[in-house]
Structure 1
Amino acid sequence: MSTVEIEKTAMLLKLLGDKTRLTMVKILDSHDCCVCEFVEMFKMSQPGVSQHVRKLKDVGIVSETRRGQWVIYSLNKQSEYYPFIQDLLNHLPSQDFKLLELEEQGLRISCD
């Protein structure tokens, strides 16, 4: 493993060492979400959620798609980091219960 690969891996681990960002990535691995859903899921402010998403977007882990005035985020499976992230995510428990809770509250994709 080259020094560059170790540097990239260290950067990824630091980025994903944040519980909120790690949970977001796990959710985005199987479900696209908008910021408003993450706001409800994590009980955080919209600027706080946006800051987490921006950090993931800046390194190319997360991509965005516009739907009208809304921005929908997904895991960028074309990223050079995706194989590493996928391997990491395989060791984590599903976070689908967070989406089910949103659905039960009528808050899943509340921005359509």
Structure 2
Amino acid sequence: MNNIELMAKQLKAVSDPNRLKLLACLKKGEVCACDFVDVLNISQPAVSQQLKKLKEAGIIVERPVGTWKHYRLNEMQPPYIQAIINQLEEISIIKCDC
């Protein structure tokens, strides 16, 4: 994938309100996938689809923990993606015990 295709994929990934909310939650650190259901008020499969798009764009990374996956922001963001993340207000979430 060349730079323009990657840029388009990343910008498309951050063009959705639900995905921006996910990124706002991740500003404070790693979050379990199960914790996003209440924040977005959508089903677990729908949350997983949103996370998958961000992961495929390289914006977030996942870490398996038991049966769940935990997500965090990729430490290496292109400046245009980092600028978007910087503009998001952090969303506090109640973390589960998984």
Band the TM-score falls in, shorter-chain normalisation: 0.7 to 0.9
Alignment TM-score, normalising by the size of structure 1: 0.73
- Report the AA paired with residue 88 of structure 1: I
Residue in 2 that maps onto 1:102: none
Residue in 1 that maps onto 2:19: 21
Secondary structure (helix, strand or coil) at the match of 1:30 reads coil
Q: Distance in 2 between matches of 1:72 and 1:64?
A: 6
Q: Which has the larger radius of gyration?
A: 1
Alignment TM-score, normalising by the size of structure 2: 0.81
Kindly indicate whether structure 1 or structure 2 has the higher relative contact order, using CA contacts under 8 Å at least 6 residues apart: 2
Unaligned runs of 5+ in 1: 100-107
Percent identity between the two aligned chains: 36
1:6, CA displacement in angstroms?
4.3
1:83, CA displacement in angstroms?
3.1
Secondary structure (helix, strand or coil) at the match of 1:36 reads helix
Residue in 1 that maps onto 2:72: 74
2:95 pairs with 1:84: no
Equivalent residues, number: 97
Q: What is the aligned-residue RMSD (CA, Å)?
A: 1.9
Q: Distance in 2 between matches of 1:91 and 1:109?
A: 23
Unaligned runs of 5+ in 2: none
